[in-house]
Amino acid sequence: MSKRKMLSAIGKESNVKKNNKHWSLGLIESMNDPKHIYKETDRVVVIKDKYPKAKIHYLMLPRDNIESIHKLNKKHISILKEFGSILQDIIEENKDVTLKAGFHAVPSMQRLHMHIISTDMVSPCLRTKIHWNSFTTDFFIPYEDVLRKIEQNGHIEVMSTDLHKSLLATKLKCNKCSYVPRNMPQLRKHLAKHVQYGVLNTLWNFT
């Protein structure tokens, strides 16, 4: 290999390592960036999702390096209960919207993080079927279920690959009615109508 090719290969490898490092530490970087922080305590940080899938989308993380829900055990019950306490504060602060909280069964990033997301699911970042199904099927494990399983069993079972793929391939369906769209553009247009209807209902009730 020539010196030029060798240097080029080293450069490419360095870029890959740099990108991998950024991906794995993305949430940690956001935790330490004041502009992303929504709320924090000594043990927990709530950040704004960089690519929100709804009008409100936060991520709640422990300061301790817990890799994922599959690393949780009974010694983490206290931190999970603190998650629940902070979640209630966030719900109180956002009474005009419906929020749900939970974890992805197969997390896309290493640091444990709980999604707190509004059910409108209206966002320019909501683009794919996988995005939708990761929040509207059993791929999304509610906070209460995770806490209960840790209290009772001390662990969260790993989802099988077949079930994982099946859930993310589930046929699209509105999370507020029986509408079944053919594709994501149709679903996004339909979801916007739900939001408009909700605003009108609020105005009518107010008057």
**Residues marked as catalytic:** 113
Q: Please report, as a single letter, which amino acid is at residue 11.
A: G
Tell me the C-alpha distance between 109 and 51, whole Å: 14
Does residue 68 contact residue 156 with C-beta atoms inside 8 Å? Answer: no
Q: Please report, as a single letter, which amino acid is at residue 195.
A: V
Tokens of 91: 């719900």
Burial string for 17-32 (b: 16+ CB within 10 Å, else e) reads: eeeeeeeeeebbebbe
Q: Count CB-CB contacts under 10 A for residue 174.
A: 18
**Residue 61 three-state SS:** strand
Tell me the C-alpha distance between 194 and 196, whole Å: 5
What angle separates helix 77-93 from helix 143-153, to the nearest 10 degrees? 160
Give just the sign of the alpha carbon dihedral 48, 51, 57, 58. negative
Name residue 142's beta-bridge partners.
102
